Each structure stands twice: as structure tokens, then as C-alpha cells.
Amino acid sequence: MIVDRRTFLVKPGHEAEVVDLIKGAIEGNTPFTNSYRIYMPDIGAYGVIAVEWEYEDLQEMRAAWAAWEASPDIAQFWEQWYTLTERGGGGEIWQLAAQR
């Protein structure tokens, strides 16, 4: 299993809107059925949202992203996204090494 973890910079006061936008995009992507987690800051870095998606392998991850990018609603998503977020953030892909 791999985890695709991304952080996004959010304009002040728009964290909840970004969470709703991300959640709607994930739930609307019918090919994606795996687990995901969205994190909002509690103590520490503000103006950041972190999202983690789980995939069996890199092939599955690439297919899910390709399906999402081919969505007919993608232009509307990006329009909303850029009004709520700042440039920056980061991405990491983690491979599961152990589990209990």
C-alpha cells in the first residue's frame, strides 16, 4: 500500500471551504473508492490543509488521478480552488513498511 500525502496552503479563514471542496471532489470521483483523510490544523501551522489518499500501488494512484483530471467538472473545481488557496504546499508518496 502507498499513501499519497499532499499539503495545500489556504487563504485565511477558508479552511472549512477547502475541506468541503476537496471532500466533494473525492466523493465525486467514482473510480476512487479507497480510504482518504483530510486534516485541518488544530495547534501549529494555520492556513494549511493536509490530505492523504491510500492506494494499492502507483498504477492505481495514477489511474485515479487521471480519472479525476478527466472529470467534466474539473474546470469548475479549479476556478473555486484558486479563489480559496495560495500557491505552494507539497506532496509526498509513502510506502507502507509495517502495520499492526
DSSP secondary structure code for residue 81 in this structure: H
CA 81 vs CA 8, 11, 15, 19, 53: distances in Å: 10, 10, 11, 11, 19
pLDDT digits (tens, 9 = 90+) for 25-75: 888 776 778 899 999 988 877 899 999 999 999 999 999 889 888 888 899
| Residue 100 pLDDT | 87
Q: What is the pTM of this model?
A: 0.87
Burial of 8 (0-12, 13-18, 19+ CB in 10 A): buried
pLDDT digits (tens, 9 = 90+) for 45-56: 789 999 999 999
User: Do residues 52 and 37 lie in contact, with contact meaning Cβ atoms separated by under 8 Å?
Assistant: yes
Q: Which domains does the chain have, with CATH numbers?
A: 2-87 (3.30.70.100)
Strands 48-55 and 2-9: antiparallel
CA distance 80 to 97: 37
